[in-house]
Structure 1
Amino acid sequence: METIGILGAGNVGRALATRLHEAGCRVLVGVRDPDRPPLWLDGPADGPRRTGLPEAASAAIVVNALPGAESVRVLRPLRPTLAGAVLVDVANAVELGPDGLAGALCYPGGSLAEEIQRTLPETSVVKTLNTVGPAELMTDPTSLAAPLSAFLSGDDGEAKALVAGLLGKLGWPAEWIVDLGALSTAWWPESFVLMVRPLVAALGPVPFGLAVAR
């Protein structure tokens, strides 16, 4: 049984943990205070298991579902544990406006994914899934009327292949996955978050994601 570590137990962590468990994975959900977990982690004993961050980070594939603005600070002490792992970064690091939506990028000259890679040089970082919302859409991409795109950015080809397989477990058809190339390309999908405010103003708070028509 494949073990997946998920760092963070918010809406994104919950959606991913639930779907990956249903797909047959052993899921460890790392929380900063294991003694005060979210209520959803008090489910069946055979469901996703709550742990501290270090234990979840010990899996071969680890998902960063932490708040983007806090990710680097929280991940830095885990560098020895994450050495050799594939880290799937699905977060957006933004400064929030008064309406709670993204107002600016925390790393405007690069990307959160690249900053994580610099912080964790022995870890293979792959960026994906940060251009769809809400979190449930990450695990149910075929629920919309039009096909979505899931973008991959990373410097390690084998790591990206593993993440593409993980996306398949989450319900993403292979033809919807677009490999953008090196991790330096993560700036582009991360910048999409700045378009969320005008889209919400135009469409309302409906599920949507970025897609490439071809």
Structure 2
Amino acid sequence: MSKITVLGNGRVGGGLAAALTRAGHEVTVPGRSPESSAEAVRTAQIVVNATPGAGSLERLAALREELRDKILADVSNATVDGPDGLPTALLHPGSSLAERLQETLPRTHVVKTLNTMLYTVMTAPAALAQPPTVFLSGESPQAKQVVRGLLADLGWRPEWITDLGGIESARATEAAILFVPHVIRSSGFAPFAVSIAR
């Protein structure tokens, strides 16, 4: 069991918090106030960033000291959204939110994951007709191993998890978000994920 703080209480954060609680972890989802977030992060072993990507960097930078030496699992994508609320461009072209977070939080172990799928798949990967793939990007092998354990608790089989390497590889998975509006317009709002077929 780990003490986990999930930042973000929307559909993504709420779903992850519920699933991790069912898996036996002690999960806290603080309110939006800086004070409650700081206290929840301070007492956690692992922090999940499920805040809206456009504001993630600023919000987490304010928690620099609380995040020191902790694992930050970043599941957000920083995008410019169109009038329909769907992403049209990346907020950090030539980089990624995960890279910017690692630069801003050098004493935090940032691991990018779970950002290449509709949010429902994060906690129910076996519900898809074909096996999905979930990716890991980060500088710390130890932190990525811990996040692998959390993914297993969410139902991800070992063969569905692909370690892409360092944090710079997150720019590839974050760019996959640009598929999303086209897939939704083509097929409707149904669960889907990126899958690597071998």
Identify the match of residue 131 of structure 1 among 116, 123, 127. 116
Contact 1:56 1:62 in 2 (8 A): no
CA contact (8 A) 1:137 1:143 kept: yes
State the secondary structure of the residue aligned to 2:106.
coil
Shift of 1:18: 0.3
Where structure 1 has 5 or more consecutive residues not aligned to the other structure, the ranges are 35-50
Q: 2:86 aligns with which of 68, 90, 101?
A: 101
Among candidates 89, 100, 118, match of residue 74 of structure 2: 89
Q: Aligned with 1:95: secondary structure?
A: strand
Trace 1:7-86 onto structure 2 (pairs within 5 A).
7-33=7-33, 52-58=36-42, 59-86=44-71
The secondary structure found in structure 1 opposite 2:62 is helix
**1:7 touches 1:56 (CA, 8 Å); kept in 2?**
no
Aligned residue in 2 for 1:172: 156
- The alignment's TM-score, normalised by the length of structure 2, stands at 0.96
What's the counterpart of residue 146 of structure 1?
Answer: 130
Q: Alignment length, in residue pairs?
A: 197
Residue pair 2:120, 2:191 contacting (<8 A) in 1 also: no
Moved runs in structure 1, 4+ residues, more than 6 A? none
The Cα shift of 1:205 comes to 1.4
Q: Does 1:116 align with 2:101?
A: yes
Cα distance per residue 1:22-70 (max 9 Å; x no partner): 0000001122149xxxxxxxxxxxxxxxx81112212111000100000
Do the aligned residues in 2 keep the contact of 1:132 with 1:210 (CA within 8 Å)? yes
Secondary structure of the structure 1 residue equivalent to 2:77: coil
Percent identical among aligned pairs is 49
CA distance in 2, matches of 1:171, 1:129: 12
TM-score by length of structure 1 reads: 0.89
Moved more, 111-120 or 193-202: 193-202
Q: Which amino acid aligns with 2:31?
A: V
